[in-house]
Amino acid sequence: MPVDEPGVNRMGNVSDTGEVETTMTFEPDIDHPEPVEAWMAWMDTLSAGELGDALRAQAKGLYAEEASVELLICHGTWLRRPDFRAFINVCHSLSDETALMAGIDWERATTANLPASGSETQVLELAASIAGIPSQLPLSELLSGLDDANTLALMRAVLHAHRGAEADPIIVAPFG
């Protein structure tokens, strides 16, 4: 499955979980000089919770990145997927060699055309957008059809990106 060309609607992803061609290039570094297969096997040993904690550690203090990571964690699907994990770089903290830190290559993850449901793709695109990666899709298309849980998670993420942990809780009232 080739990577989308610029301007192509990525919402038309397939729903099966077959093999996916990604554009991720592996460049060993000091934290993981092993071959790609060994690195991905090690990544598979991390639970979604451990990976979420590593993403939180890396994003700490950067409101937009914190919000993006929390939106993805709250959604619950992406961090469990090996094809998505190919776009996450994990390393040990320089200050605490036992702590893991992780970052997402948002641009590659959103252009890899990973198989996903409509809401999965929407949440990934919205999280990347909050992190600063422009979406090729209009906001109206990204919001259309989101269920209440994902809409509430998105609202919390937007508020957090704007004000951080000090943000006031959301109270939703009808217009008018």
pLDDT per residue as tens digits for the range 24-75 = 444 444 455 555 666 667 777 889 999 999 999 999 999 999 999 999 999 9
pLDDT score recorded for residue 76:
92
Residues 124-154: pLDDT tens digits?
999 999 999 999 889 999 999 999 999 999 9
For 46-176, where are the alpha helices, taking DSSP H only? Answer: 48-59, 63-75, 82-85, 106-111, 118-130, 139-143, 148-163
Exposed e or buried b for every residue in 85-112, given b needs 16+ CB within 10 A? bbbbbbbeeeeeeeebbbbbbbebbbbb
pLDDT score recorded for residue 173:
67
Domain ranges of the chain: 31-165
CB half-sphere exposure, 86, CA atoms < 13 A: 19
Are the C-beta atoms of residues 100 and 54 closer than 8 Å to each other?
yes
Residues 75-133: pLDDT tens digits?
999 999 989 998 998 888 777 777 899 999 999 999 999 999 999 999 999 999 999 99
3-state secondary structure of 68: helix
Nearest to 75 by CA among 175, 150, 162: 150
pTM of the model: 0.74
